[in-house]
Amino acid sequence: MSLRLAIELSAGPHVPGEQVRGHVTVEGGEGIRALDVWLAHVEWTSDFTATARTENIRSLATGPVHDGRQIPFELSLPLDAPPEVQSNHGGLAWEVQVKADVRGPDVIEGKRISVQDKQS
């Protein structure tokens, strides 16, 4: 079975300084050496994607992870977290990203979260 990571998040939108809660469900995790989660501020265009900033890296597990295991997490959005911006040419947004350290290329999954200004 190939490794699959599914991220479920608490309802948004979120504001700077707020807790983002959720869990990761792991399928095929017998080859995992470590499982980490963090917040990433990502930017993209039609032909480019990059991570501009990472925050709150947390270890969720070390060693094999049993199939179907749901691992909860809680991450704090930075107080200066800018809101999501999108245009016809690209955008900036926050994501929760999970990385499984495995033999060969690591498996990374991300799920976008909506961040708004506190005034909104």
Selection from 52, 13, 28, 41 nearest residue 97 by Cα: 41
Question: Per the structure block, which two tokens stand in for 53?
Answer: 């900033």
How does pLDDT run across 34-88, given as a tens digit for each residue? Answer: 999 999 999 999 899 999 999 999 999 999 999 999 999 999 999 999 999 999 9
Selection from 111, 118, 119 nearest residue 40 by Cα: 111
- Domain positions in the chain: 4-113
pTM of the model: 0.90
pLDDT at 27 over 70: yes
| Spatial distance between the Cα atoms of 94 and 111, rounded to a whole number of angstroms | 9
Taking domain 4-113, whether its CATH number is 2.60.40.1840 is answered by no
Q: Which residues contact 80 (CB under 8 A, 6 or more apart)?
A: 16
Average confidence score pLDDT of the chain: 93
C-alpha pair distances (Å), 4 with each of 37, 74, 102: 15, 20, 12
